[in-house]
């Protein structure tokens, strides 16, 4: 079973899924740092999901963790209104998204682990951006999002240890935001030492954060999922380059470990006046993948079978 904000869904019923999106980020510290991180109009977010559904979309993974703008109640509302399933995230983000006095800096490892387990098994916290997490709703997260930065501080060690323990206890996958100049292979070693199976790990953004193809293959060889989401992000590179990166993986035999998404901000959601819109993959990018010679069944792995397998409970 896959855990969505509206309840459990059999893995086979997930449908077409983009595995790293942002459909709601409330006002607060994140949006103050970077205004494109404010996605807070329920009607616009619902409209975006409806366009996605009309194009063939069935589900999205919302990658915003608690304490920095996530609002589980709004995710539930826009999912119900649009008919698109949403898998929500517990876990933690890059530290710049938390103000100085945030609870994340003072929580002990056991408290962090208990928080992640609570969100996966009982219910997600609400109102935990500025206050210490206390109130919960009756809707659960379906995965643990984490963020690997160039610096691996004692706090990062505490956060990753807590996340790994929570993933081990709950059987839910652990997703890693990979920042440029970080050490993803070192983190894979660290998480495997914590007892996590590599096939419960999803490493994101390698297509913009890690240039060396050997590193992508090294992680994939271990059984880790690679999530490519620099599609139509032209400040990094064009779609031709993105197609090169994605198409190299089935050629190397790793087609069962690839996930794809847009990792949208406000500026890229059509209902908020942005480009290219959440339906870009379905309408434009999949035809490009097929044009490159990928078989339909390979493309379907990226958007149906692979998300269904990794977001299911171990
Ligand atoms: Zn993201």
Over residues 177-194, mean pLDDT: 97
Cα-to-centroid distance, 226 and ligand 1 (Å): 14
In the structure, what pLDDT confidence band is assigned to residue 288 with cuts at 50, 70 and 90?
Answer: very high
Q: What is the pLDDT of residues 195-208, one digit of tens each?
A: 999 999 999 999 99
* 207 burial type by CB count under 10 A (0-12 exposed, 13-18 middle, 19+ buried): buried
Residue 280 reports pLDDT greater than 90: yes
In the structure, what pLDDT confidence band is assigned to residue 138 with cuts at 50, 70 and 90?
Answer: confident
Cα-to-centroid distance, 25 and ligand 1 (Å): 11
Cα-to-centroid distance, 48 and ligand 1 (Å): 17
The CATH number, out of the four listed (1.10.10.10, 3.10.20.30, 3.20.20.140, 3.20.20.190), of the domain defined by the range 16-310: 3.20.20.140
* 193 burial type by CB count under 10 A (0-12 exposed, 13-18 middle, 19+ buried): exposed
Over residues 38-64, mean pLDDT: 98
Over residues 96-117, mean pLDDT: 97
Cα-to-centroid distance, 63 and ligand 1 (Å): 6
Q: Where are the domains of the chain?
A: 16-310
pLDDT of residue 127: 83
């Amino acid at each position: 079973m896959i855990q969505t904000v509206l309840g459990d869904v059999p893995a086979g019923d997930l449908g077409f899924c983009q595995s790293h999106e942002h459909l709601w980020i409330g006002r607060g510290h994140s949006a103050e740092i970077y205004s494109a991180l404010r996605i807070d109009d329920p009607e616009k977010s619902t409209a975006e999901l409806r366009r996605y559904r009309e194009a063939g979309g069935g589900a999205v993974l919302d990658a915003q963790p608690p304490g920095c703008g996530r609002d589980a109640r709004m995710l539930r509302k826009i999912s119900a209104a649009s008919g698109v399933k949403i898998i929500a995230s517990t876990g933690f983000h890059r530290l710049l998204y938390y103000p100085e006095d945030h609870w994340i800096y003072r929580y002990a490892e056991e408290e962090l682990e208990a928080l992640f387990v609570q969100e996966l098994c009982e219910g997600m916290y609400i109102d935990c951006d500025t206050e210490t997490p206390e109130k919960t709703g009756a809707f659960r997260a379906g995965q643990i999002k984490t963020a690997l930065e160039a610096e691996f501080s004692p706090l990062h060690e505490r956060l990753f240890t807590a996340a790994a323990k929570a993933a081990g206890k709950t059987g839910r996958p652990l997703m890693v935001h990979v920042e440029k100049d970080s050490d993803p292979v070192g983190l894979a070693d660290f998480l495997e030492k914590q007892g996590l199976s590599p096939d419960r790990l999803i490493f994101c953004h390698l297509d913009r954060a890690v240039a060396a193809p050997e590193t992508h293959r090294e992680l994939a060889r271990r059984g880790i999922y690679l999530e490519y989401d620099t599609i139509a992000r032209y400040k990094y590179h064009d779609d031709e380059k993105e197609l090169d990166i994605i198409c190299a993986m089935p050629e190397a035999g790793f087609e069962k470990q690839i996930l794809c998404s847009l990792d949208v901000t406000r500026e890229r959601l059509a209902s908020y006046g942005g480009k290219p819109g959440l339906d870009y993959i379905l309408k434009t990018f999949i035809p490009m993948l097929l044009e490159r010679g990928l078989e339909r069944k390979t493309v379907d792995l990226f958007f149906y079978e692979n998300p269904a397998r990794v977001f299911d409970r171990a």
